[in-house]
Structure 1
Amino acid sequence: MVVDVSQLSSSNQDYVKALFKLGEWNDAPITTKLLSQQVGVSLSSASDAVRRLEKKGLVKHAPYGAITLSELGREYALQMVRRHRLIETFLVTSLNYRWDQVHDEAEQLEHSVSDFMIDQIDASLGYPTRDPHGDPIPSADGQYPDLNALDAEKGQKLVSLAEMTAGEVGIVERIHDADPDMLKHFAQHGLVVGADIAVGESQAFAESTQIILGKNSVSLGAAALRAVLVRV
């Protein structure tokens, strides 16, 4: 089923997309507090939004329990994620934006463009399957690849740099796009999607780990390590 996201307010569009993205990057139950941090609103505002979404049948939320998207909510979320990631890809590919400049632009544009424009962008780019940060782009009919299942078939898996130990190697697959300064720092050191990496020694005194990229290396702290997914 393909839903019409214009039926939702911009605020509700943001919330369903935020819930989907939290589920992509976090295996822990999604709480109202976590949602409020993701969207950047107060806890009370997030609580009100969850009640509103539940009445619309977009989320499921038991008192004091985890928040999950309903099947309908997931359909809306996939369309918003599709918009966001195609716009990011278009800005980098066609308008020469850097990958650290596109997130906030896409956050604004995704609410105002039409489905027709999104489909035209998709076609003009040759139907890309990944955005500049390596995130999968849902198809027009709402299909989203199960990356873990695809990797399992190949005997591979996706892990964050934080889960890897010294001597392990892999290929950078996805990078969290929320912090533009972090993205800029990564790019300066060649830590981009598709890069071959090796994990060096942890430096306990500096609370960082050395990541080796060919002849270059960069020391990353815990937050940066969690922001990078690697195929091993």
Structure 2
Amino acid sequence: MPSPAFDDYLKTVYSHTEWQDAPITPSQLAAALAIAPSSVTEMVKKLAAAGLVSHVPYGAVRLTDAGRDRALHMLRRHRLIETWLVREFGYAWHEVHDEAEVLEHTISDRLLEGIDQRLGRPRFDPHGDAIPDAEGRVEREPFVLLAEAAVGHSGRVLRVNDRDPELLQALEDAGIAVGHELTVADGGMQLDGSPVELPDGALDVIWLTA
């Protein structure tokens, strides 16, 4: 079975193309994992030898079918745990990522199934990321990154990137949450019909319905 380190790499490769199409490069992978490029190069070779990724020197890293299945398996664990922590333990959405990173490698499949059942088999985590079902299927609506949305566009907040806890907290303070309506208006943004001032960096971490 792949190690936790393998799983972290596979999740990162998958997540990179979840909301855009360009495959991840080794340098991007190193930056996302905060790991030295030389270490990434060695791990990618191991993943390729295990049949989990395809890669040519200096080229993009892509998941094989086996790698994708494993990534979805771990993302199901991670996102169910995040949802569980928010709903059952009162965690805020900016507090759950690191906890889930630890717990996803330790809980049993039986406990995970119990969590899924207790939560009513949710389809999305608190940040709007799709929770794969037990067969690895995911659901997602057509979307647009807020930074690329045209003036006049209005849509529900589908997803907020969870990598920056401080930005997540600032967005929560501004009233941003999955399911709320954002409109790109002349001179600013509107949240559920009222003007809202978004923190720096917000345009690149919020996805709306297209």
Deviation at 1:197, TM superposition (A): 1.0
Q: Distance in 2 between matches of 1:185 and 1:34?
A: 26
Q: Percent of aligned pairs with the same residue? A: 42
C-alpha displacement of 1:220: 4.3
Report how far residue 128 of structure 1 moved: 0.4
Q: Name 1:229's counterpart in structure 2.
A: 207
In the alignment, structure 1 residue 218 sits paired with structure 2 residue 197: yes
* Structure 1: distance between partners of 2:185 and 2:167: 20
Q: RMSD in angstroms over aligned alpha carbons?
A: 1.3
Alpha-carbon distance in structure 2 between the residues aligned to 1:30 and 1:77? 15
Alignment of 1:23-42 (within 5 A): 23-42=17-36
* TM-score where L is the length of structure 1: 0.86
CA displacement, residues 162-221 of structure 1 (integer Å, 9 cap, x when unaligned): 01122221111111111111111111111110011111346xxxxxxx321133401344
Matches within 5 A, 1:1-232: 7-145=1-139, 147=140, 151=141, 157-201=142-186, 210-213=188-191, 214-221=193-200, 223-232=201-210
Is the Cα contact below 8 Å between 1:211 and 1:218 reproduced in 2? yes
Q: How many angstroms does 1:25 deviate by?
A: 3.0
Q: Secondary structure at the match of 2:8?
A: helix
Regions of 4+ moved over 3 Å: none
Distance of 1:61 and 1:26 partners within structure 2: 19
Q: Is the 8 A contact 1:211 1:220 kept in 2?
A: no
Q: Where does residue 205 of structure 1 map in the other structure?
A: none
For 2:189, give the aligned amino acid: I
Quote the offset at 1:133 in angstroms.
Answer: 0.6
Q: Name the CA distance, whole Å, in 2 between partners of 1:211 and 1:186.
A: 13
Q: CA deviation at 1:51?
A: 0.3
For residues 6 and 209 of structure 2, the distance between their equivalents in structure 1, rounded to whole angstroms, comes to 33
Task: State the alpha-carbon separation in 1 of the partners of residues 54 and 186 from structure 2.
Answer: 43
Contact 1:129 1:138 survives alignment (8 Å): yes
Structure 2 alignment gaps of length 5 or more: none
Q: Separation in 1 of the partners of 2:203 and 2:194? A: 20
Bigger CA drift: 70-79 or 109-118?
109-118
